[in-house]
Every structure is written in C-alpha cells, then in structure tokens.
C-alpha cells in the first residue's frame, strides 16, 4: 500500500520544527516511536519536518536508538532557541508544573497528557500561553486516544453544551466488567487488572475516582469557560461495589459503571459528580466495557453525540499528543483550541439533586417497619440473599435520601445511584 505521504501533493516542507520530549516512560517513548514510525505522513500533514531534538530523563538508556538525544538537564532544553514545542510526559505536578510554566513564559508551546496538572493549573497555563503567543494543548489529558477536547471547541463550536456524561477510566471499567461477566469479587478483579498492566501497584487514583474526577474537571471547565476545581466535585470510587450488587443489577437488566457527570441547569448552575451508577440498556454507555472509555455529550442543536475508544495506553495517548503537535505546527505555535478563564465556577450543592437509588439493607424487622415510612412508594426487589432486603427508591433529593438512610435503625449495606 502506498504511503499517504506519497499520495498527497505538496510543494515540500517549509522548515524543521524541533521538539523536546520530557519523560521517556510509557507515553514519552510512545511519542518518539510514532514520530519515527510515521515520520513521512506526519511531516506531510503538518507541513514541516518534526524532529525530536531532546529527550529529558534522569535515567540512562544504553543501547536505545535515541540514547544520543537523552539528557537530564532541563536548562539545556529550555535555553535552546531551536526548541519550539515541548511535550510534557513526566506526569504529576512537580516538576511538570515548573517546567511547563517556564516554557510558556519563553514562548515555547507545551503539549501534555497530564490531567493532574491541567486540572490543577490549566487556567493559569492557558493564560500564559495566550500572553506569550504560544500554545498549551492537552487533547490526551482526558480521553487518552479518544478525541474530545478538539470536538468540544471546534466541531461543536455552534453548540451550547448542556451535559457531559462519560466513562473516563479504563482501569475501573475493566474491573467492573470483570465482576459483571465472571462474578468475580472486587479484589479478584483488581488483581487481574494489575496482572495485565491495566492497574498500578497502588491503584488508589483510579479506584477511588480521583483520576476520573480530574478529567471531569477539565471537561467541565471547557464546557463552562470557567475554572472548575476538581477538589469541589463530589467523588466516590468503586471499592464498595460487590458481586452481590451485580447480581441485583443483572436481575434488573442493568449494569454498573463509574460515571463522570457534569450538567448545566436552566439557571446556568453546574452540577457535577463522579460515582458508580446503575444504568439500563437504553443508555448509550451501557455496552461500554473492558478497558474502553466513552464520552456522551448533549448539546442544544446536535443533541447527543458520543466519542468512544481506548482511553489510555502507550500508543493511543501518544497519538493524541502528536495530533496536538501537528495542530501547533500548522498554526505557527498559536493554536487557540482550548480556553477557560481564572474565574471559579461554583458547583451546585449535591444534596439538591434529584435521583433514584438502589438500596441494600439488613433484613431486620426494625428496618422493614421504618422503610415504609422513610421511603414511601419504594419498590421491593426479588430476594437474592435471605439476610438482605433490597429495593429501589423513586426520585428524591440526595439530602433527603441521606437523611432517611440515617434514620434506618440498622442502617444499610450499600446504595448505588441510578441514571
């Protein structure tokens, strides 16, 4: 098959764009690999020859084909006038924040997949990019290889975004899918995910919902044009989900997913949450399983659109970073794809939100008597465990629900929200 570069007509590249890659781990090595493997096509699409001049890492890589490009001296990179673009693949806040800020202040564009950094300092770094006539781009920070930032600010330019709902973490989605399909426990499913490399040895950021929360904060900021602090988004993980919960879900024709949700009400107030939800087969996200992610967007004219694919991994994430590199080169380093200001966006108190709930509680006489009063019109479910009583609660505010739960004499075993 002929290369795309051979089929496209061109007058030739104009110049060379030198870039530096910070971090030579999974994502950083993926960036270099794709730029090497697909060099001709990428250069043709960007209009320039893209050259990796430096790779920053404190480790040595003897025998690596790019060993001559590796340096542990950031000053060498930041002070090189030939470096136009820096791809930050270090992760975390330090030293990624300092390196990114210094680069932008010098008019060097920065491209990243670092959702922790974007969620914490995105507004400031975007402002610095505008002030210094360069770019700060982060397509890979939310959906990994799934395009979502660019569609929100380019393809959906004419739309008012009303709601974003998604499965934004492949690790948790794999664990929940494993529990559903195999009847495995949470602990067993997590161990399998770790064995396959889908989960870190310390999986807290994924399973407690922190990773998903940061991604939602970025999406909500882009959605509203104002800074949404991830610390203010109510967040629950999947560690309390059990095989019994999936038994009830199957009986209801439902599944359980860790969802990120952000929605603007008629008054322009933002509601946001990250938590496990029950959803039925009428929901577009119902069949998104294994390590796949999906993002569902509701806008006023287009209504629903969905973006689906592998949300993480070496090459998918690196591919998204390179798409930003190409965009940056095409725009002469002044891409304005992403924006939001430094004004904080308030998040509506979660207690006001009306939701349905699935509840499991001890099958005690005291609880049974109280349930009729505290949850009028509740729907009892078929008995799966004789020691339990399970039921569905019709829409009520989160605050009223929690107040009623607190009044149950013997408490509850678990509760899961329903989409």
- Residues carrying an active site annotation: 215
Residue 120 phi, psi (nearest 5): -85, -40
What radius of gyration do the chain's Cα atoms show?
A: 24
Task: Sort strands 292-299 and 109-112 into parallel, antiparallel or unpaired.
Answer: unpaired
Neighbours of 94 (CB within 10 A): 9
- Strands (DSSP E) along 193-302, which ranges? 254-264, 270-280, 292-299
Cα–Cα nearest to 360, from 234, 270, 246, 201? 246
From CA 33, how far away is CA 55, in angstroms rounded?
12
- Order across the sheet with 109-112: list the strands: 70-71, 49-56, 16-22, 83-88, 109-112, 136-137
Neighbours of 316 (CB within 10 A): 19
The single residue listed with the structure tokens 């030579």 is: 24
**At 148, is the secondary structure helix, strand, or coil?**
coil
From CA 87, how far away is CA 319, in angstroms rounded?
12
**In DSSP terms, which residues pair with 49 in a beta bridge?**
16
The single residue listed with the structure tokens 């820096």 is: 86
- Order across the sheet with 303-310: list the strands: 303-310, 292-299, 161-167, 254-264, 270-280, 412-418, 354-362, 388-397, 379-380
Distance (Å) of CA 249 to CA 169, 182, 334? 21, 14, 49
Burial label, 70 (beta-carbon count in 10 A; 0-12, 13-18, 19+)? middle
Distance (Å) of CA 24 to CA 64, 243, 278, 299, 384? 11, 39, 39, 39, 51
């Amino acid at each position: 098959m002929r290369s795309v570069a051979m089929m496209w007509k061109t007058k030739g590249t104009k110049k060379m764009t030198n870039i530096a890659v910070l971090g030579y781990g999974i994502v950083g090595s993926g960036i270099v690999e794709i730029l090497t493997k697909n060099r001709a096509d990428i250069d043709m699409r960007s209009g320039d020859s893209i050259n990796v001049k430096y790779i920053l890492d404190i480790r040595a890589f003897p025998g690596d084909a790019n060993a001559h490009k590796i340096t542990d001296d950031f000053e060498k990179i930041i002070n090189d006038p030939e470096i136009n673009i820096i791809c930050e693949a270090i992760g975390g806040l330090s030293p990624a924040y300092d390196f990114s800020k210094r680069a932008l202040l010098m008019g060097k564009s920065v491209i990243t997949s670092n959702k922790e950094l974007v969620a914490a300092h995105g507004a400031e770094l975007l402002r610095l990019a505008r002030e210094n006539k360069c770019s700060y781009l982060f397509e890979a920070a939310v959906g990994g290889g799934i395009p979502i930032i660019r569609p929100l600010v380019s393809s959906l330019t004419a739309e008012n975004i009303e709601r974003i709902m998604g499965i934004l973490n492949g690790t948790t989605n794999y664990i929940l899918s494993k529990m559903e399909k195999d009847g495995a426990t949470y602990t067993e499913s997590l161990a399998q995910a770790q064995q396959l490399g889908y989960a870190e040895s310390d999986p807290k950021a994924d399973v407690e919902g922190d990773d998903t929360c940061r991604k939602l904060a970025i999406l909500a900021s882009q959605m509203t044009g104002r800074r949404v602090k991830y610390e203010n988004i109510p967040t629950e993980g999947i560690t309390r989900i059990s095989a019994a919960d999936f038994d009830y879900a199957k009986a209801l024709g439902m599944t359980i997913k860790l969802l990120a949700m952000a929605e603007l009400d008629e008054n322009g107030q933002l509601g946001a949450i990250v938590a496990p939800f029950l959803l039925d087969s009428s929901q577009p996200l119902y069949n998104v399983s294994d390590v796949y992610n999906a993002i569902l967007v509701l806008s006023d004219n287009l209504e629903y659109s969905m973006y689906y694919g592998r949300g993480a991994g070496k090459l998918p994430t690196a591919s998204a970073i390179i798409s930003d590199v190409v965009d940056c080169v095409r725009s002469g380093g002044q891409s304005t794809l992403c924006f939001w200001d430094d004004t904080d966006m308030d998040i509506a108190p979660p207690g006001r939100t009306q939701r349905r709930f699935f509840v499991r509680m001890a099958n005690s006489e005291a609880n049974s008597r109280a349930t009729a009063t505290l949850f009028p019109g509740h729907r009892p479910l078929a008995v799966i465990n004789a020691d339990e009583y399970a039921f569905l609660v019709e829409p009520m505010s989160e605050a009223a629900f929690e107040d009623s739960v607190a009044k149950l004499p013997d408490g509850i075993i678990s509760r899961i929200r329903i989409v």
